[in-house]
Amino acid sequence: MILLPSPNFASKACTVAQMGASNCIQSEMLHCRSGHNPVMSVPNLKKPLLSNSRAEVVKLSRKCSATEASNRAKSLIVAASPPTEDVLVSTDPLTKKDLVDYLASGCKPKENWRIGTEHEKFGFQTDSLRPIRYDQIAELLNGIAERFDWERIMEGDNIIGLKQGKQSISLEPGGQFELSGAPLETLHQTCAEVNSHLYQVKAVTEEMGIGFLGIGFQPKWGLKDIPIMPKGRYEIMRNYMPKVGTLGLDMMFRTCTVQVNLDFSSEADMIRKFRAGLALQPIATALFANSPFTEGKPNGYLSMRSQIWTDTDNNRAGMLPFVFDDSFGFAEYVNYALDVPMYFVYRQKKYIDCAGMSFRDFMAGKLPCLPGELPNLNDWENHLTTIFPEVRLKRYLEMRGADGGPWRRLCALPALWVGLLYDEISLQNVLDMTADWTAEERQMLRNKVPKSGLKTAFRDGLLKHVAQDVLKLAKEGLERRGFKEVGFLNEVTEVVRTGVTPAERLLDLYHE
């Protein structure tokens, strides 16, 4: 169950899941001097999926073409990593078109599409199995920074994360340790990045008596046992969550996920990928279901993490049925996001509590917590990070339905979605397969899968049978990419063949 490999694992990493020799991590690379992260030596990292520069001019283009942006657009500066700062604010009030164009600015040609993988894990003290405290996390972050040359991210006097190139390490509310990976071209590079990260973490934690667990929900400890991280935005969320759902604090402090962020070429391409991703998200939830325990006992679910999202805050979570409307596009997502209640505004390195207030009012200068002040695109970018549907749109699409898991499964999740969404034939086949699924059927799958997984009844069969077709399309899509990436799906191939989810395997071990 422990996620991290030992340091001598590095020499074996190249044999895992068909990693090509030119992309794998060599043991001597992993033992190189601090100052270079080996995974960042992979070539041809072209236009990024995500940007971590402190300021980036947003090139607004509704049609996602190479046309010049307006003079006003050139004055809008957006930093990429939340919370973003108002580095340069336009003198003109934001319009809805600005918000739409911000999303449209994520469009890029297929040759520039990238794969961005994020994964979280639970830290624990190996002697007592207690959760790790913030002071231990701070020691870990400082240790990684010193040994492997990461830049520290501070909030006041507290270290809250690290940054190196296009990668970042951050803390979730209960100390869950997250890697937000760089935008990479192939799944070989993605898996190399995962291996490199886990090696670095293990190199520091083995001296501290700390281990990490890859699972979707904290299996042992209650909310009262989880340490609270010293991050301002989480204090605001912690106070607000109980007002809008019964399980929001569990989501914050006791869940872990793995997700992949993928690009689109146009508004039409975004719509097709959004619809395919939403329709199939319950299948991904089933394939990666890995959270059957709560406080030491079976909880009755295969994905407790997924179940928790059904009563966290339904104003900002769910299956978004409007995505399947004929009118859907960037503008309709903006309308939705404008109506999602805010959490905060970030000013002068401080979080201002605006929980429950309206971004529409903010645009009119009527925000009660900041009367008379108008938002900038940085505020919009931050607001988009506080929306939590099963698939989320920013300047890329996030597939958000999977539980966290052991390291091999961290490579399988992006492989599944890349095979389905980055290949035109597979994407069209998914859309054809799901075209007659009703909103009620999609919601039924969302509701039942956390409990019954691939055994969920669907039409004349089981969800397992749909998953078999989906996996076949994913494999074919990866084969057509030509990077020999199909082996990364080995972890889910057995799940689909047997219909037994990772959670059910854990339950078998528990009962036997």
Two tokens, residue 235: 């204090």
**Cα–Cα distance between 61 and 395 in angstroms, integer?**
12
Contact assessment for residue 181 and residue 190, using Cβ atoms and an 8 Å cutoff: yes
Q: Is residue 209 part of a domain?
A: yes
Q: Is residue 156 part of a domain?
A: yes
Two tokens, residue 218: 């904290």
pLDDT at residue 127 in the model: 96
Q: Is residue 436 part of a domain?
A: yes
Number of structural domains the chain divides into: 1
Name the pTM for this structure.
0.85
Give the angle subtended at the CA of 356 by the CAs of 352 and 362, to the nearest 5°: 65
Q: Is residue 364 part of a domain?
A: no
Q: Is residue 41 part of a domain?
A: no
pLDDT at residue 192 in the model: 97
**Structural domain that includes position 225:** 96-340+387-511
pLDDT at residue 91 in the model: 57
pLDDT at residue 20 in the model: 33
Pairing mode, strands 317-318 and 388-389: parallel
pLDDT at residue 408 in the model: 87
Q: Is residue 163 part of a domain?
A: yes
Q: Is residue 16 part of a domain?
A: no
- Angle of helix 424-434 relative to helix 463-481, nearest 10 degrees? 160
Closest CA to 464 of 215, 304, 289: 289
Contact assessment for residue 471 and residue 499, using Cβ atoms and an 8 Å cutoff: no
Q: What is the CATH number of the domain that holds 244?
A: 3.30.590.20
pLDDT at residue 21 in the model: 31
Rounded mean pLDDT for each run of 10 residues along the chain, 512 residues in total:
42 33 31 33 33 33 39 36 48 91 98 98 96 98 98 97 98 97 98 97 97 97 96 97 98 98 98 98 98 98 98 98 98 98 95 96 96 96 98 98 95 98 98 98 98 98 98 98 98 96 98 94
**Cα–Cα distance between 463 and 14 in angstroms, integer?**
34
Output phi, psi for 317, to 5 deg: -135, 170
Q: Is residue 2 part of a domain?
A: no
